[in-house]
Structure 1
Amino acid sequence: MVIIGCGRIVELAHGPALRRAAGFGVTALVDPSAERRAAVAALLGAQDVVHAEEPSPDLVRDAVVVLASPSPLRSELMGRVVSHARAVVVEKPLVSRTEDAPEVLEGAYSADTHLVPVHNWLYDPAVAELGARVASGWLGELRSMSYYHHTTGPFAGAWAHRPLWRADDPGGCLADLGYHACYLVGAVVGRPTGIEVSASTRTAGVLTSARVVLRTATGVDCRVAVSWSAARPEFRIRVVGSRATAEVGDDGVLTLHRDGRTDELRHPAGFPVAYRRFYHDVADRVRHAPDYCDATAAVLITRLMEEAIAGAPRREERSAR
């Protein structure tokens, strides 16, 4: 395995998960910063790995590549590895612009390279049980879904050149937090087919809060509220059915309301837990022929994000970012 980008998400999620996940051994770390490479090597307990500032075809050939670099660098780096790697595990988004998708997908198709977007919330144990209960019909006929994710600011990365690069993206909190809502809706309710912005706030041209409605192929709408300007962090998913309601937070608690009774089911939570489950899935996937369903879904999410960002009202906050 080759890790490209030794930033905060590798430190908090990939590294702790890979340290305990079976089936993968990290052979190379790629990052312009020697300090970041050393920190991740120490985290992994992998001292005998190749260190490189840039990826090369020989370095990634037939390897499982984790592409965890900042989004502004994603397309260029993807173009350099997709035709040589056995698989590319990609932090969101798969592509930053839909116009980049054909080249990425064709490169993967022609080389039989697996493209695996990191849709990590699908591997959270409480969220996974929520999805399983919906799929089994336990909630009855689906009526609605809501996704609520508020933070106190954009996630600070370790890229010395631009640690707050997320705050430079006009999509802001919608591109960052709202992305997760799209793949969760696709897994739990049905394929998203459209997006409508009902309210939004921009600071210096960047979306810092947004409320949107995701339309789906099943006719069940999902209401999404995301923000980088909340007084305190909060994460909640709620699914309403004709027989029951289910709610899940980021603390691993799945709360079920049915027949006048409330039950709380507690699960392990946190990045390392979800990413460890994710890597078990990756290990299984690369044993088989590539399946590009998740990759095409990720491209759809980028298109939906572009539509929403372009259509969001341009009300500006008075305070500067």
Structure 2
Amino acid sequence: MSRLKVAVVGCGGAATGHALALANLADFEIVALVDPSERNLASFRTRVPAVADVPAYDDVEAMYDAGVEVEALTVVTPHTLHHPIVLGAIKRNLHVLCEKPLTCDPAHAREIESAAATAGVTVMVRYQRRFDPAYRYMREVIASGGLGELRSIMVSVGQRWLTNTKGTWRQDPALSGGGMLMDSGSHLADMLLWLVGKPVETVSALVDNAGSPVDINTAATVSFAGGVQGQLHVVGDLATTWMENVAVSGTNGLLRYEADPQHPWRTGRVVHYRDGELVQPVNLPEPPEIHEALLATIRGEAVNEAPPAAGIAVAELSEAIYRSAGQGGARVSVR
């Protein structure tokens, strides 16, 4: 089979991992870079030598006008730009891997889902924890009934986000659509929803901006159908690099997950309490890398494990959290 021709849209720091992965996979070819900043492009070419000679364009329309032969986009732009870029790609029958969040507005995410279904193209959200061995183990245990009746879930994520993003677009609401919750917190909001696997009914939340134009710290209580109670705790002014903890409790067991605070991009450790014993699973099956999963989905060899529906659910939850916080923590319904 021929290699999938991909354009990298947005060439800031977050796009580096995307491009390095694509460059190291034989089934992909990066055919265009898109970014309005010459400085970003120069720095990007230094970080990813494989794209040194790949042509660059100011925006996606310029790339389309140039007649570049492209089959898919990987979108790594500021959050509020995702919707028009992804929708434009779908209208050209292109596949898309979009950084989180898919969109900031639930209605925009629904529009993308509908358009992709009509066009018959793949849109995948880069919720890479869905391809993490430890998280997949937890989901399989929960889905198989290994915890018995699910009762509660607590998800905490923290990052030195306030300091590290100061002066960047991530603290500009017009571009970011929100703060830590909309950024790194989006990954763990997805895990909360993905692990429980039930619709959210109500949300009660408090948000602290910590002097920033956007949210920094968030504490949310999430009630799911069937009575499962969830807690989502997002800390954007953490004093160390990273914090990521999950505890899922059922009538027959408990799952706990913890990431290394100094190495957040490695898979964490999962511990399973069952039948009065503590089990720490090792040598878990290695799932496909997310770009490989994208290609398998495009080729019809696998289902889309991070579809637009995931982006819709996170957008709905995020909107409810902000709405509740705006009402002093009042309990609100997801809509």
- Match of residue 182 from structure 2: 175
- Match of residue 246 from structure 2: 237
Paired with 2:68 and 2:108, the residues of 1 have a C-alpha distance of 21
- Match of residue 8 from structure 1: 13
Paired with 1:181 and 1:228, the residues of 2 have a C-alpha distance of 13
- Match of residue 139 from structure 2: 131
- Match of residue 298 from structure 1: 311
Paired with 2:201 and 2:147, the residues of 1 have a C-alpha distance of 25
Query: Counterpart of 2:296 in structure 1: which amino acid?
Result: D
- Match of residue 26 from structure 1: 30
Paired with 1:292 and 1:110, the residues of 2 have a C-alpha distance of 19
Paired with 2:220 and 2:134, the residues of 1 have a C-alpha distance of 24
The answer on whether the counterparts of 2:150 and 2:228 sit within 8 Å (CA) in structure 1 is yes
- Match of residue 293 from structure 2: 281
- Match of residue 269 from structure 2: 253
The answer on whether the counterparts of 2:124 and 2:306 sit within 8 Å (CA) in structure 1 is no
The answer on whether the counterparts of 1:201 and 1:314 sit within 8 Å (CA) in structure 2 is no
- Residue 172 of structure 1 aligns to a residue whose secondary structure is coil
CA RMSD in angstroms comes to 3.1
Within a 5 Å distance, the mapping from 1:28-177 to structure 2 comes to: 28-42=32-46, 43=48, 45-56=50-61, 57=64, 63-101=71-109, 103-154=111-162, 156=164, 163-166=168-171, 168=173, 171-177=178-184
- Match of residue 322 from structure 2: 309
* Compared CA separation, residues 142 and 98, structure 1 to 2 (3 A): closer
- Residue 225 of structure 1 aligns to a residue whose secondary structure is strand
Normalising by structure 2, report the TM-score: 0.79
- Of 18, 21, 38, which aligns to 1:17? 21
Structure 2 segments unaligned to the other structure (5+ residues): 1-5, 261-267, 329-335
* Compared CA separation, residues 240 and 101, structure 1 to 2 (3 A): closer
Paired with 1:216 and 1:258, the residues of 2 have a C-alpha distance of 24
1:214 aligns with 2:222: yes
The answer on whether the counterparts of 1:83 and 1:113 sit within 8 Å (CA) in structure 2 is no
Paired with 1:267 and 1:40, the residues of 2 have a C-alpha distance of 35
Q: Which moved more, 1:217-226 or 1:93-102?
A: 93-102
How far residue 225 of structure 1 moved from its aligned partner, in angstroms, is 0.6
**CA-to-aligned-CA distance 1:183-226 (integer Å, 9 cap, x gap):** 22332212332342243323345322111122223432221111
How far residue 109 of structure 1 moved from its aligned partner, in angstroms, is 3.6
How far residue 53 of structure 1 moved from its aligned partner, in angstroms, is 1.6
How far residue 139 of structure 1 moved from its aligned partner, in angstroms, is 2.5
Paired with 2:199 and 2:114, the residues of 1 have a C-alpha distance of 24
- Residue 139 of structure 2 aligns to a residue whose secondary structure is helix
The answer on whether the counterparts of 1:134 and 1:188 sit within 8 Å (CA) in structure 2 is yes
Query: Counterpart of 2:90 in structure 1: which amino acid?
Result: V
Q: Which moved more, 1:235-244 or 1:200-209?
A: 200-209
Paired with 2:159 and 2:282, the residues of 1 have a C-alpha distance of 23
How many residue pairs were aligned?
A: 306
The answer on whether the counterparts of 1:108 and 1:115 sit within 8 Å (CA) in structure 2 is yes
The answer on whether the counterparts of 1:146 and 1:223 sit within 8 Å (CA) in structure 2 is yes
Structure 1 segments unaligned to the other structure (5+ residues): 316-321
How far residue 113 of structure 1 moved from its aligned partner, in angstroms, is 2.3
- Match of residue 319 from structure 1: none
The answer on whether the counterparts of 2:152 and 2:250 sit within 8 Å (CA) in structure 1 is yes
Query: Counterpart of 2:245 in structure 1: which amino acid?
Result: R
- Of 263, 270, 293, which aligns to 2:279? 263
Aligned-residue sequence identity (percent) comes to: 23
Normalising by structure 1, report the TM-score: 0.82
Query: Counterpart of 1:40 in structure 2: which amino acid?
Result: F
